[in-house]
Copies of this chain bind each other. A is one copy, B any other.
């Protein structure tokens, strides 16, 4: 009877455990986790802090009871400290400080990531928070209810920074967002980042871009955040959201090879270099389907997929993780932004000859009430005409996240931009157009590509 031990009780770990129960009902599965919150939707933390989710317990994908009912054993509040891969033993410390050793036949690491702590003086001051785990959110929540802050600085204009800026604003807190890059949301085109900044400003936020935060200092009851060029502001609370780094100290104790950004190196079967040890989720590097090389891109969707593959293979399955396309979506106030595939610069770096065309239309026939403008950017290769990437921005009810998924499916199958017009997509005037916006946008790209070819011929 195979004994599988999984370290980490978040997306990757629980997905692996569930898959093992499906594939090998006679295997035993134990999930060991450092805190008391298995299978929580950490992507939902901003919505708990905003009050949109009124009880943190609702963030559980599954309750402890659900997990136990699936036949999965839980070792909560066990901090794994070492792996002995020769003896196949994991050492852990429980909540009482006692050391235990847990044997395994197969081990799956889903240790996740931790918030990146940038080099800023005063980053450890009280009132400065990070947001990654349930514990982080409890600390922020405590601050919100006991100290009633009226102002906050959010450092970082990525997904979590934007969602928290939104969340704190909903709480009635005056938010200043500070981003190091020239635009927020640098995972999409500058023009989309600008739209997001406008959305933030329309909701009363101060937005500062191109600012390197250097120092946080205590000034009475408040914190002063200082950066350059010429940035200084005071607030009651500071949130730092500048990315994640893989939590791989434990993996190192087993002699597991680390790669990009010190993430665990795995193959597409989610195997590490150490026999019988798999890894998945935010602690590993991720195969990129278009780039055909690994990248570090920690996402919940990916963690679920990789965990499932690791679980399947750990009990004798033969499945490859097919890779990421970097598909992502975020809602900021009324706006939603989604992307898949490569941005133009990424495509160029990867050796493609990218062409990007921008297109604007409506999410459904404009004559039907409630139509929202929708902007789409298509990136394709000028030589092969392959679709390389797509980005969409619109009102969050414009179904753009699932429209990006049509592109993601197309890129998965290596479609040319032109072939998107062959897809039989659904239409009814309240929900789309006879050519869905995704097809109008790809047709616009094809016209632009043809025009450029034509003018190149004319020049010759």
Q: List 6 A-B contacts (CB under 8 A).
A: A11-B434, A331-B430, A396-B431, A399-B399, A401-B426, A412-B422
Give A contacts to B, CB under 8 Å.
11, 22, 41, 43-44, 47, 52-53, 58-59, 61, 159, 289, 299-305, 308, 322-331, 336, 338, 340, 365-369, 396-397, 399, 401-406, 408-410, 412-413, 421-432, 434-436, 447, 450
- A424 shortest CB reach to chain B, Å: 4
| CB-based nearest B residue for A408 | B424
**A436 near B405 (CB under 8 angstroms)?**
yes
Known contacts being A43-B429, A305-B422, is A52 close to B368, with CB within 8 Å? yes
Q: A426 contacts which of B44, B338, B366, B426 (Cβ < 8 Å)?
A: B338
Q: A324 contacts which of B305, B406, B424, B435 (Cβ < 8 Å)?
A: B424
Known contacts being A47-B367, A367-B44, A436-B405, is A301 close to B340, with CB within 8 Å? no
Residues from chain B with Cβ under 8 Å of A305 in the complex = 421-422, 424
Residues from chain B with Cβ under 8 Å of A368 in the complex = 44, 47, 52-53
A326 to B426, alpha carbons, bound, how many Å? 9
| CB-based nearest B residue for A431 | B401
A64 to B431, alpha carbons, bound, how many Å? 25
**B365 near A41 (CB under 8 angstroms)?**
yes
A404 to B403, alpha carbons, bound, how many Å? 10
**A327 near B367 (CB under 8 angstroms)?**
no
A434 to B159, alpha carbons, bound, how many Å? 15
| Besides the known contacts A43-B427, A402-B406, A409-B410, 4 further A-B residue pairs in the complex with CB atoms under 8 A apart | A301-B424, A399-B399, A399-B402, A408-B423
A22 to B422, alpha carbons, bound, how many Å? 17
A304 to B159, alpha carbons, bound, how many Å? 38
Known contacts being A427-B329, A434-B11, A436-B405, is A52 close to B301, with CB within 8 Å? no
Residues from chain B with Cβ under 8 Å of A421 in the complex = 305, 308
**A427 near B301 (CB under 8 angstroms)?**
yes
Residues from chain B with Cβ under 8 Å of A326 in the complex = 424
- A238 shortest CB reach to chain B, Å: 24
Residues from chain B with Cβ under 8 Å of A435 in the complex = 301, 304
**A43 near B402 (CB under 8 angstroms)?**
no
- A61 shortest CB reach to chain B, Å: 8
